[in-house]
A and B are shown apart, each in its own frame.
Chain A
Amino acid sequence: MPISESDVRHVAMLARLALSDEQVTQLTEELGAILGHIDELQHLDLADVQPTAHPLDMTNVMRPDEVRPGLTREDALANAPQTEDGAFVVPPIVGGGDDA
């Protein structure tokens, strides 16, 4: 399955990456080459095989629902690029701009 530049732009938006035109061109070529190698999987007959998401046979690991100390607010905010009044600062999510 070849990958096109418009596929790469679409995937970049899904991955939240602002790529330059140059990066798009280069990634189209590189991802195409990698996918070419990976395509061997399409030739395996795996129709009746169950998929594996996790290598160990474990389900529903339970623990007691107890309150225990977690990160303090100070620690949680310690590495944030911008904080205000004990909260993370984010740009406008709806609308945008100063007049939103």
Chain B
Amino acid sequence: MIDLNTLTAREVRDRVVAGDVSAREVAEAAFGRIEAVDASVHAFLELTPEIAYEAAGRIDAAVAAGEPVGPLAGVPVALKDNMNLVGTHTTAGSKILGPYRSVYDCTAARRLLDAGGMLVGKCNLDEFAFGSSTENSAYGPTHNPWDLSRVPGGSSGGSAAAVSAGMAAIALGSDTGGSIRQPGALTGTVALKPTYGRVSRYGVIAFGSSLDQIGPFGKSVEDCALALEAIAGKDPLDATSAAEPVRSYAAGLGEGVEGLRVGIVSDLLDVEGCAPEVRAAFYAAAETFASLGAEVGEVRLPTARHGLAAYYIIGPAEASSNLARFDGIRYGHRAADATDVLDLYTRSRAEGFGPETIRRVMLGTYALSAGYYDAYYGQAQKARTRIIDDYRAAFEHFDVLITPTAPSVAFKLGEKADDPYAMYLSDVYTIPVNLAGVCAVSVPCALDEASGLPIGLQITGDYFDEATILRAAAAIEAERALDLTPPLVTELLDAQAAEAGMAAQRDAALRAEG
């Protein structure tokens, strides 16, 4: 019997719909995997068996009655814990929201569950999504299933680790500067940041409102395509969600890349700190595109290299404004014995926020303050215009643009904890994409020979052209056919197989005796 946790979402759905396996069995298998590995990984902040088994019951009843079920029927799913869902806590990885219970639903989360997803739990993240390692969570770090001494990336590190270790088939993350794609690269999962506005942001705790976008992690490109179909589309509750029609993203994945114009972003490859193994894997992927019939060329995005600087003004500026709502009055931590309202605000916030959150709120408030606004925020907004112009010009000549997703493989816990800027550099390839608002996917393209750790390729597409980047990613996925099972899970499966083998031997021996 195959371990159900090794299946993709598509495979799970097909089996559940065919009646080969029940949704309840799938949910039990997922919780069994969580029980086996999450004490080491710490991907989850909250488990939701009641929600999962309630969904499983409904799906199994529908299948038995021959009624239609959703496109993700019986698929175990997880949410980043900055997405609200009634019946769950939503902490955003922050102490300030410790006891908070959601009183409304995040639209994307609701849509994922309406499509048949069974929620197994809520995933760890850097506090308020501020970080690239998940070490900034107030509830302790998540460990990378490929090597527990390393980070899973961030800020959606819990979601990435949950999918990587087979605890959920699909997980949602949020991406403001790379928070889906970078952990995707570091955990060997497929990770998609849709175009700004493609997915409603309603119900996700806001970080940078002009940058934030929700997207899926999956074990395959097809799973990400199916998840996007489920969550995308206009939402009256988010005025910035786009009316653009939702396409059938999974339909054309096998069509190949013959004639596809692929642009290597040459000037971004010169930025400091790109590891040699990442560079090698990247150029090998570019060659693969060429060998599959794509027209591969070079393109420059001259202002994109300043994206990091612009982002660390715009992101914190928007965050400092969004986080003003945490005041100790309507929800969240409240300082004891406040003498007046100002004392209440300033102490509740200082006590409730962690160090990186305080750093970003301070940076953003500074950049927006009188006397500095034009020099910092104004200048960053103008650089953003130039970056958008760079992408628009590039997409006149190319269908997709490629870079590495992250400059290195997963780094050690603590390695960059004392140097905020070194941590910020983890997102140097992903940040310009958010500033422009276009879409990008990270797809595993190699396993590093020395460490065995996965390396991701970032494929960026034009506004609302998710179908093309997913098709390009599917071509790399098919050509590489990597085994993306982390060692932790391989050991578990081997142990299970050995146990099953011993049981079979015992049975055979008993039969022989009898």
Contact = CB atoms under 8 A, between A and B. Distances in A.
B384 A51 contact: yes
B185 interface: no
Given A51-B378, A80-B330, A91 B101 contact: no
A23 B350 CA distance: 10
Interface in A34-50: 34-35, 37-42, 44, 46, 49-50
A46 B379 contact: yes
A53 interface: yes
B366 A3 contact: yes
A18 interface: yes
Interface in A81-100: 81-82, 88, 90-93, 96-97
A30 B420 contact: yes
Interface stretch (B11-19, B36-44, B236-244, B246-254): B236-244
* Most-contacted residue by chain B among A8, A39, A56, A61 (CB, 10 A): A56
Given A41-B379, A46-B386, A52-B381, A17 B421 contact: no
Interface residues of A, number: 55
B21 interface: no
Contact of A79 (B330, B349, B359, B369): B330
Interface string B382-395: 11111010000000
A38 B309 contact: yes
Contacts of B310: 41
B349 to A, nearest CB: 5
B312 A38 contact: yes
Interface string B329-350: 1111110001111111111011
A91 B341 contact: yes
B212 to A, nearest CB: 11
B242 A37 contact: no
Interface in B344-367: 344-347, 349-350, 353, 358-359, 361-363, 365-366
> Per DSSP, are chain A's interface residues mostly helix, strand or loop, or mixed?
loop
Contact of B347 (A18, A42, A56, A88): A18
Given A78-B101, A90-B344, A55 B382 contact: no
B436 A41 contact: no
Given A3-B366, A55-B210, A76 B103 contact: yes
A51 B343 CA distance: 37
Nearest to B328: A81
B346 A18 contact: yes
Contacts of A71: 103-104
Given A41-B306, A81-B332, A34 B312 contact: yes
B218 to A, nearest CB: 25
Contacts of B380: 41
Main secondary structure of the interface of B (DSSP, over half): helix
B330 A33 contact: no
B339 A91 contact: yes
Contact of A16 (B303, B349, B372, B384): B349
Interface string A6-23: 011011111111110001
A85 to B, nearest CB: 16
A56 B309 contact: no
B328 A41 contact: no
Interface string B150-191: 000000000000000000000000000000000000000000
Contacts of A16: 324, 327, 342, 345-346, 349
B283 interface: no
Contacts of B359: 27, 30-31, 34
A67 interface: no
A75 interface: yes
Contacts of B306: 40-41, 44
A56 B333 CA distance: 36
A15 B320 contact: yes
A5 B8 CA distance: 53
Contacts of B372: 1
B341 A93 contact: yes
A92 B341 contact: yes
17 contacts: A1-B375, A3-B366, A12-B362, A15-B365, A30-B359, A33-B421, A52-B382, A52-B385, A55-B388, A55-B437, A56-B197, A56-B437, A63-B236, A71-B103, A79-B99, A81-B331, A92-B340
Given A34-B424, A52-B384, 12 more contacts: A3-B366, A14-B365, A17-B349, A17-B362, A27-B362, A34-B312, A38-B312, A44-B383, A56-B196, A81-B334, A92-B340, A96-B339
Enumerate the 10 nearest inter-chain pairs by beta-carbon distance, A residue then B residue, closest first.
A55-B437, A51-B381, A81-B334, A79-B331, A18-B346, A46-B382, A96-B340, A75-B103, A15-B365, A61-B239
Interface of B: 99-101, 103-104, 196-197, 210, 236, 239-240, 242, 303, 306, 308-310, 312-313, 320, 324, 327-334, 338-347, 349-350, 353, 358-359, 361-363, 365-366, 369, 372, 375-376, 378-386, 388, 420-421, 424, 435-437, 463
